[in-house]
Each structure stands twice: as structure tokens, then as C-alpha cells.
Structure 1
């Protein structure tokens, strides 16, 4: 199933409006999800829309949040999202970080009392649009076991760095700190496929390729898969995201992070408020002239793109290139929607009496 960007954007925005979001917030939330689908990150696009609706129905998402700055210095701040959509709260925080960077060279904002914020790349690229280096990360529902454990204590905890370039597109390193994002398991479940070894373990801690293992008490593995392949490094990266996003802001961390799925209740002994994010922006000209940096970035990109490869038919892929290629294709030909997601969207169309056509 292919659907045009404009049709999918209008429908998604209408769903957020039906939830009670303002025009501004509905448009912004829809944009974050549509950008994920355009960039080929299907796990974080409109496939998540039904999840947001279910959390809203459970009154765990506030459609009209009073987002406030609860603490700040000239270059730092902590924001309370008032249980709003992370799709709205995180851009608020990044705009604040950018404002601080414009005045003082860098800006860093931690966020508490928020929800799932979509793709980290969306927020980091806001800084790139201002010729700054952008950072974005968030903690998430505990699905990942630390190295040597079979207990879910961390989320997939994505982290993103985005760097402006000159003649080339920006370099965007956007990744989960787990071996795979949970959304990739969901994609495998919908398609009836197994997942690669090293992504997930069962309840006993044994490696499995069953994409449904999480529902049976299993857990995702940190980036690296196991200790022999560097999972302690993935664990360390995930811990860093959790601490900066939540311990620093006053959000829930570790096993206390509330689940994204509505049928699971948040822990009854929270250690903070909602989930947490951490975003930052740095002015390049705080370090050297912008044009010199961009020229060197172009040179860096060109050199890596020309690297010799084991397979002459396979070139080195610069971080962010696959997403740009997907965006060009999907803007032209439409966004692919798998049957399971299409059925979810049709259900929302009926629920909110909002038309949805391919």
C-alpha cells in the first residue's frame, strides 16, 4: 500500500486534532511522524499513531500541555513537559537550546514529564538548520537487559548527533543503543519473519530469533549483542542516555520508565515524572569559522565515500544517506504502509470519522 505524503500528513494531523491538540501542536506532531516515514524509519512513523491514541485514551498523554522551564542558567535548562506529546515537548526543548546557543555558543536542555518523542534525528536536525551541531537523546520503556542480565532495565535509548556540511547533506548519526530498535521487532512480527541472532534473548537469557520473545518475558540486548561482541559498550551508551535524559532532569529512569503500550500500567513506585529527553545545540563558529568547518566536512565526507571496499559493488555509506535516499523516493512515489499499520489507521479513521484514502 502506497499513500501520498500529503494525504498521510492531513490524516495524522486530524487524528491529533481529534485528541484535542491545538492546530500548532497537531501540525508539529504530525510532521515528526511523517518525517520518520519519509526517511524510511517506518517503526517510528504513523505506525506509532495508534499507540499515542491509546495512551491519550488512558489519560497518560495531555493533549494541551503547559510546557514550562523549571530551572535554567544562560546555557542550560530543565523543561517540564506536563505529560504532553514528546513530539511537541522535544521540539520546544530544542528551540530553547538553539536560542541559548545563539546567545552563548551552546545550549543544553534536559526534559522530564514527557512521552515518546519520535525519531531523534528530527530534533537534532533543527539545530543543523541553524548551522549548529545538534544532539538529541531519550530514554524509553525498559525492554533491554544490561550485559550479563536477563532483567529489563533500560530502553532502546536512542542517541543522535547531526553535523552540518557544505555541498553535501548533513551527517546524521541516529541510532538505538540496543542491538535493534523495538520497532524493528514489530516490523518482523507484522511480516512473519524471524530476527537475526544477537537482537533478543528469551526469559532464560538464551539467544533467540523469535520476534515475539518480548511478549514471552524475553528482552532486547544492548548494542553488540553479548560481551564478546562489545555489549558492555552498548550498555554504557544506553546508561549515558538514561542518566542525561532522566536522572539529570527528574524523569523516571531505568525500570521505572512508563511503558509506551497502553495495556501496561506505569510502575506504582515512580522515581520521577514521565520519560526524559536531553537535547543540545552548539554553534560551529564557537570553535572555528563556519565556512572552514563546512569545507572540511565536505572533504571528510568525500574521502570516506571514496574509500576502497571489500566488495567493489558496495560503497561506504555516510550516516544519514539512506534516509535521504528514502525521502527522495517516498516524496515522489508515496509512503509504503504495511497491511497491519493500514488496518490500524483505518480503525482510527472510523473512530475519529476522518477520511483516509491511499
Structure 2
């Protein structure tokens, strides 16, 4: 298929995108160390093929800073703590900073006492969920991350946005095989994929969204114009009740428990989304869990079991018309291998948005 102006992509080295993001965050008043940390979260998404959560999000973060919706220099602090747990207040900081700081706290607790669980309130969008469990792999930790988000999803049999896409992420290290990296939204598709499809003039899969009247649609613009995403599974006949329950679990653990806004009440992201009708807490909520493998099993033996699991799944007889099962994390790992060598493709609408950010901040993009 011939590229259209919306789908044509320009390729950039990942370090160029990381440097630009770092300097933009710094221009927004974010301290240098935090700016580099936030840019690293975006770069990880771009490298691993999660185009919806990489540099494409930078204009939206910039807009939030411009409107005074994010505190560039937050006092991130624990408001409740035990040796293995904490509730952290992010002071309305950039989620790309609050999230990694809280995740680090969970990992440090796990290294000291075997497990660590940190709930977060008063944060913002924390980037691609898989970033967080990936940080635990070189430390011999299994890390679990969840976050709620502004409403984009209708509850089962509902016709309006009442829940976030509420993703869940976790990773398991192998010995010789690549890690099993699980990262999924509890909605049928991620909201970022709807935005991406709208930019490209493409459709979204059937059974993933409804329009403002509650009718199924494959037009991303109809979903964005008053429609909603459906829970993972879609309708009840295809398991939509399971996605709905997963979304509820994340909402209650990651938001209600630490005192963040749940359901339809988190603050908008991107900034142009409607304001919630009321507040029931502080900002967006996250939950990070970490535990040492050696608290449960011999680490080497567990890694060998993960290897065996991976090889067993790969040996499954392929379904007709396929090359056989993939392992969770395979597409992202392959994307990283390619993009480290050849660069990151950025579609024209995103390039234009980044050029506008460059003009507004005085940070050169090229």
C-alpha cells in the first residue's frame, strides 16, 4: 500500500528523540535528572514499538505543562509506609517521573524484605506500562505495574465513558530465552491506538468501540467524538465481562486504595478532554508490586522453568494461516532490535506536532 501524507514516516535515531524529549521537559521547568528520567520512559516505548506512548505523547505533556496542569518540581513523598508497603503522594508531578520513583521504592523494599508494594495518588499519565517490570529484570525481581487513567471505556452494557483503559504489566526473566513481558490494557484496544488510527485516517478493529449512541463503530473519529472504547473482549458473548472486571480491579487497587480519582473522575489527559464532573481523590493512581524470586524459589531453577515454558509454547502446532504462537513481549523485543540499528519511524503528523513543540520551547528538533 502506498504511504499517504498521514502514514509516511521519517526515521530518527533513538538518542536524538531522547535528547529532544529531555530538553523539552527541562524547558518546561523539570529538573535535569527528572527530565532525563522522563525522556527515558518515552524512549523505551519508541524503541520497543509502542508508538502510541513514546515521543508522540510529548506534545500532550508539553500542553499540560503550558496549562499549568502538571507540577514540574513535585515533592514526591510517602504518606503511609511499612517495611514492605507505602502510599506515595506524587504532588501532581509528571507521571513519567512519579511512576519510576515509586517503582524504585517498591523494588528497594523487595530487595530488603522480599516484597514491596507501593500505591500512588496525585500523579498523572505514567507512560507505557511495560517500562516498569523491565526495570526489575536485571535486579532479579518480578515487578507488577498497574495504573488507572481518564475515562475512555464503557462498562459492560454501558453507553458512555466511565473507566480508564487501566493497563496491567508484569515480566518474568528466562535463563537463555528472552523474558516473558506481559503488558495489556483492560480495554479492547488502547486509547492511543484510536488516536494513532485517527492520525493515519485508518479504521479500528470491529468490536472494540462504540459511537455516542452506543452503536458499534470502526471509525476512530466516532469513538473520539463522544463514543467509548469497550472492555477487553468487547460484548458479553465475547468475554467483555472479564475485561470489565479487570478494569474494576485496577481502578480499586491503583486508585481507590491510595486515594486517587477512580472511574470517570481522573483529571483529563490529553488536556483537551472534558473535565470530570467532580473529584473523589487526588490525581491519577498507580500500583507497583515487586518481589525477589529467591523469596519463593531458587532463581536459576525458576529461570530454567521460564525457558522451558517459552520453548513449550513456541513448539505448539501452528493454527492454519499462521506461523505459530508468539511469546508475550516478542513483537516489542524484535522492534527494539530493529530500531536500535535503523532508527525509530515517526509518522508525519507526529513530526509536525514535535516541530510545533520545538517552536514553542526553542529546543531544536532537527
TM superposition score normalised by structure 2: 0.96
Structure 2: which 5+ runs fail to align? 1-9
Structure 1: which 5+ runs fail to align? none
Is contact 2:117-2:290 (8 Å) kept?
yes
SS in 2 for 1:207: coil
Q: Distance in 1 between matches of 2:335 and 2:18?
A: 17
SS in 2 for 1:71: strand
1:134 is matched with 143
Is residue 335 of structure 1 aligned with residue 344 of structure 2? Answer: yes
1:229 is matched with 238
Q: Distance in 1 between matches of 2:218 and 2:65?
A: 33
- In the TM superposition, structure 1's runs of 4+ consecutive aligned residues that sit over 2 Å from their partners are 263-269
> Residues 46-65 of structure 1: matches in 2 within 5 Å?
46-65=55-74
Is contact 2:144-2:169 (8 Å) kept?
yes
Q: Distance in 2 between matches of 1:225 and 1:215?
A: 17
Please point out which of 204, 220, 232 is paired with 1:195.
Answer: 204
Q: Distance in 2 between matches of 1:114 and 1:197?
A: 33
Moved more, 244-253 or 346-355: 346-355
What's the Cα RMSD here? 1.1
Q: Distance in 2 between matches of 1:333 and 1:127?
A: 27
Please point out which of 71, 77, 100 is paired with 1:91.
Answer: 100
Is contact 2:217-2:223 (8 Å) kept?
no
Moved more, 257-266 or 131-140: 257-266
Is contact 1:140-1:156 (8 Å) kept?
yes
Please point out which of 262, 266, 269 is paired with 1:260.
Answer: 269
1:37-84, CA deviations, whole angstroms, 9 ceiling, x for partnerless residues? Answer: 110000001111011111111111111111001101111100000111
Is contact 1:54-1:262 (8 Å) kept?
yes
Moved more, 197-206 or 222-231: 197-206
1:6 is matched with 15
TM superposition score normalised by structure 1: 0.98
Q: Distance in 1 between matches of 2:120 and 2:72?
A: 17
Is contact 1:94-1:127 (8 Å) kept?
no
1:313, CA displacement in angstroms?
5.1
2:169 is matched with 160
Q: How many residue pairs get matched?
A: 357
Q: Distance in 1 between matches of 2:273 and 2:303?
A: 47
Q: Distance in 2 between matches of 1:318 and 1:195?
A: 24
